[in-house]
Structure 1
Amino acid sequence: MKNTLIISMFYLVGLLFLALGISMMILSNLGAGPWDAMYVALSESVGLTVGSWVFIVGVLLIIINSLLLKGTPDFLAIITIVLIGALIDFWLLGVFPDFTATEIGMRIFMLIAGILIIGLGISLYLQSSFARNPVDNLMMTLQSLTGKSLAVTKTVMEVSILVLAFFIGGPIGIGTIIVTFAIGPLIQMFYPPVTKFKNRICRVKV
């Protein structure tokens, strides 16, 4: 029971960090991550909030992932995309509704901090096999099917979505390029120590 609560905390805190990092990148106005640039472009051109598009695209990815695995769609993943979408809207519309970063130093700080927080957030919530984000579930599936590392798999996915986001008018910038090639290695860097920390505290007797 204790271990379940610990892993649940990794899951929830990871999603909170992930949404915060995404929001910081968007607000830095130096380029959002490929997926987030796509969500922003869809929000601005079609309507609905960024979080709503996280949900809509997530449902499509759940179906794609099930086809790749030739199994039943992981509808539990809807819980994760609902949480991520709601948390992104919480940060953007609730916490920072009128925030505008004008100083270049602040914008660079928000960009770098956002990328690091995203990498850490993904590594935290991946400690739970429950209801993974369809984007990261697809990453894990492709890694399993190809035998490539998490870093390579994530980078290939990010580059593919980057091209799509560019053509539909997403907020592409230097931040987009950095996160495209950095997020995979960051997950690879954070994941082992986070896993080690989780395993250590899960073995602690109370």
Structure 2
Amino acid sequence: MSNSNPSANSAAPKMTWYGKTFNILLKVLMSFVGITMLSLGATLLRSSKILGLDPFTAVNIGMSNHLHMSLGLYQLLANLVIFVFVLFLDRHMIGIGTIMNMVLVGFEIQIFTQFYQQIFPEGINFFVIVANAFLGLILFTAGSSIYMAPNLGVAPYDAIAPIVSSRLHIKYKTARVIQDILFLIAAVLAGGPVGFASIIVAFFAGPLIAYWNKHISDPIVNGIDDFSEQPTVKHAASTISKATLSGYHYLTHAYNATLNVQMNLSGYTNQTTRN
């Protein structure tokens, strides 16, 4: 039933122009942080050919090696091709987050990889590989959640499944799995870094991203919206304090969730992913 009391509606706080400015800037910053996190996670997964990468990045690395191009440049070109199709099929999925993801991810992976190789010039042992698997998967899935949560647009690759789902009237989950499997096959044919982590990302990243959405990303977005209504220093300090404590608490749980996914892959059911 709708509320017909005009005074009740007028009591709702209205966001001022500077509040809206803060809201946009903070959400852009949130998307940037998320993109940087997923790039760092992809770098850790890329550190060993045993681990592999997510299907899309694996294809891009394989093709860029064949064409003797940098990963950043090739991934940007690949994103531009997909971007054109998304622009015609569903332009509502395009925003500043789309552009940021298209431009930044490939180049950030290149930069992080150079730093990583300077830190570990002699190669890595098994224990470092395992640590990279855990941290890489956490950062990749958490970063994906954080950059998408503000609804500023998604990467062209991430827009494929929703468009296919809508056009062919199939479930999004089915469309995404088919998409990732096809790109996984393409990565193998292109000689890209496919491994254990590639399988994990293709089939089990969804539940982890849903976990981050519920416990980290959505609360941050709500905090930004709440702060933007009353952008004061005191309010900002309170919001940051709550976010820090909440993030620390759920980071531990997210690590355990990641460990369970990797050690007990069959433990995830449809009911689990909805919780």
TM over 0.5: yes
1:92-103 counterparts in 2 under 5 A? 92-93=113-114, 95-98=115-118, 99=120, 101-103=123-125
- Normalising by structure 1, what TM-score? 0.86
The CA deviation string for residues 71-112 of structure 1, in whole angstroms up to 9 with x for no partner, is 59958534431122221121113x224435421111121022
Equivalent in the alignment of 1:54: 75
Query: 1:11 Cα shift?
Result: 0.7
The question of 1:15 aligning with 2:35 is answered yes
- Kept after mapping to 2: 8 A contact 1:28/1:111: no
Deviation at 1:183, TM superposition (A): 1.5
Q: Secondary structure at the match of 1:96?
A: helix
- 1:167-205 Cα distance to aligned partner (Å, 9 max, x none): 121122122112211222222222233113311342033
Shift of 1:137: 2.6
Question: 1:143 and 1:21, CA in 2 relative to 1: closer, same or farther beyond 3 A?
Answer: farther
Q: What residue in structure 2 maps to residue 181 of structure 1? A: 203
Q: 2:129 aligns with which of 107, 110, 132?
A: 107
Question: Does the 8 Å CA contact 1:29/1:107 hold for their aligned counterparts?
Answer: no
Q: Which amino acid aligns with 2:222?
A: N
The SS at the match of 1:171 is coil
Deviation at 1:133, TM superposition (A): 1.5
TM-score scaled by length of structure 2:
0.66
Q: Which residue of 2 aligns with 1:126?
A: 148
Q: What is the alpha-carbon distance in structure 1 between the residues aligned to residue 223 and residue 42 of structure 2?
A: 29
Greater RCO (Cα-Cα under 8 Å, separation 6 or more): 1
Question: 1:2 is aligned with what amino acid?
Answer: F
Are 1:195 and 2:218 counterparts?
yes
Q: CA deviation at 1:38?
A: 0.8
- Go from structure 1 to structure 2 and tell me whether the alpha carbon gap of 1:72 and 1:110 turns closer, same or farther (over 3 Å shift): closer
* SS across alignment from 1:119: helix
Question: Residue 17 of structure 1 contacts residue 120 of structure 1 at CA under 8 Å; is this kept in 2?
Answer: yes
Q: Is the 8 A contact 2:27 2:224 kept in 1?
A: no
What is the aligned-residue RMSD (CA, Å)?
2.4
Q: Which has the larger radius of gyration?
A: 2
Amino acid at match of 1:11: S
Corresponding residue for residue 6 of structure 1: 26
- 1:38/1:164 contact within 8 Å kept: yes
Identify unmatched segments of 5+ residues in structure 2. Answer: 1-20, 233-275
Q: Which moved more, 1:181-190 or 1:114-123?
A: 181-190
Give the paired residue count.
Answer: 203
Tell me the distance in 1 between the aligned counterparts of 2:49 and 2:129.
7
C-alpha contact (below 8 Å) 1:41/1:171 kept by paired residues: yes
1:116 and 1:131 mapped to 2: Cα distance? 22
Q: State how far apart, in whole Å, the 1-side matches of 2:89 and 2:214 are.
A: 27
- Confirm or deny: 8 A CA contact 1:55 1:78 kept in the other structure: no
Instruction: Indicate conservation of the 8 Å contact 2:144/2:209, yes or no.
Output: yes
